[in-house]
Amino acid sequence: MSQEALGAEGAVDNHAPLHPAEVGTHSFEQEFTLNLLSSDGDRLEQIDTALEKINEGTYGACEECGGRILKARLELIPDTPYCVKCASKLES
């Protein structure tokens, strides 16, 4: 996907616009694809970190305050590093 979005060598077809009016749409689609890839990469890092914590026996501990993350929160967001209270503070 990243090769297609960037129009890299070896990409089958980068769907580059042929008409100047299509340039904006093409740029938007390219940026959208690259953002998705970046987001996926971040999520994979969070999952890897959670798996490491399971192996270390520290899974479920908040990285901010050290308290326990509620089981219900971990069931909804298994790779979360923060309890609800700390996540709310960090988001604001």
Give 24-75 pLDDT, tens digit per residue: 777 778 787 777 776 667 888 899 999 999 999 999 999 999 999 999 999 9
Could you count the other beta carbons within 10 Å of the beta carbon of residue 57? 8
Inter-residue long-range contacts of 42-48, CB under 8 Å, 24+ positions, other chains counted: 43/79, 46/79, 46/81, 47/78, 47/79
What is the Cα–Cα distance from 58 to 64, expressed in whole angstroms?
A: 13
Task: Assess whether pLDDT exceeds 60 at residue 5.
Answer: no
- In this structure, the answer to whether residues 9 and 52 fall within a common structural domain is yes
- In this structure, the answer to whether residues 43 and 66 fall within a common structural domain is no
Coil/strand/helix, residue 68: strand
- In this structure, the answer to whether residues 65 and 47 fall within a common structural domain is no
Confidence at residue 3, expressed as pLDDT on a 0 to 100 scale:
60
- In this structure, the answer to whether residues 50 and 64 fall within a common structural domain is no
- Residue with the bigger pLDDT between 62 and 19: it is 62
State the burial class of residue 69 (Cβ atoms within 10 Å of its Cβ: 0-12, 13-18, 19+).
buried
Confidence at residue 23, expressed as pLDDT on a 0 to 100 scale:
73
Residues 6 or more apart from 25 whose CB is under 8 A from it? Answer: 17
Based on the structure, what is the number of domains in the chain? 2
- In this structure, the answer to whether residues 82 and 42 fall within a common structural domain is no
- In this structure, the answer to whether residues 53 and 67 fall within a common structural domain is no
- In this structure, the answer to whether residues 49 and 91 fall within a common structural domain is no
Report DSSP state, residue 21. Answer: G
* Residue 17 structural domain: 1-59
Confidence at residue 39, expressed as pLDDT on a 0 to 100 scale:
67
- In this structure, the answer to whether residues 51 and 72 fall within a common structural domain is no
